[in-house]
Structure 1
């Protein structure tokens, strides 16, 4: 990328909070507010295209070859009866089309 800054890579995550999906980009080692986008519904799960569009609005894009990975967690750690929480994550980079 001659004359251009190399895009920085980050992790984007998505989970349900307060009855709606929330997509956010994790910014480590900073006090900056993490960029986030809230979808207005709990179901259906936002599509790949909807997630990519939301990332673009936030100034990011999926990293080449990146795939979404889903992880199961619980609302209350160490409680086997706790409700399940699904968290999706993928690698993203600062959007190379920004400012063009």
Structure 2
């Protein structure tokens, strides 16, 4: 049995800061489908992120569903505004959502 290809899923703030976005970085794709979560609802829970990934046709690898958090500075931002990014490893689901 072949091992599914591992990809990285990300959760970031939108460019305008109004929502969290969960997406999977797909090689050779110019635009990645995403699932939005309003900032006003707080940080999406692990279950909400797993449901978002499922709706995109992916499943987290590993039972813990751990996400790694990091800070990054927006490229070209003279004020050095920091953005939070969370990532986890995912694989395509064997039976994509209908």
Output the TM-score relative to the length of structure 1: 0.78
Q: 1:58 to 1:46 in 2, by over 3 A?
A: same
Shift of 1:67: 1.8
**Structure 1 counterpart of 2:89, from 91, 94, 98:** 91
**How big is the alpha-carbon RMSD for the aligned residues of Structure 1 and Structure 2?**
2.5
Q: Give 1:3-22 correspondences, 5 Å limit.
A: 6-17=3-14, 18=16, 19-22=18-21
Q: Which runs of 4+ in 1 moved over 4 A?
A: 76-79
**Contact 1:23–1:38 (CA<8 Å) still a contact in 2?**
yes
Output the TM-score relative to the length of structure 2: 0.79
Larger Rg: 1
**Contact 1:21–1:42 (CA<8 Å) still a contact in 2?**
no
Q: Does 1:67 align with 2:80?
A: no
Aligned residue pairs total: 95
Structure 2, unmatched stretches of 5+, are: none
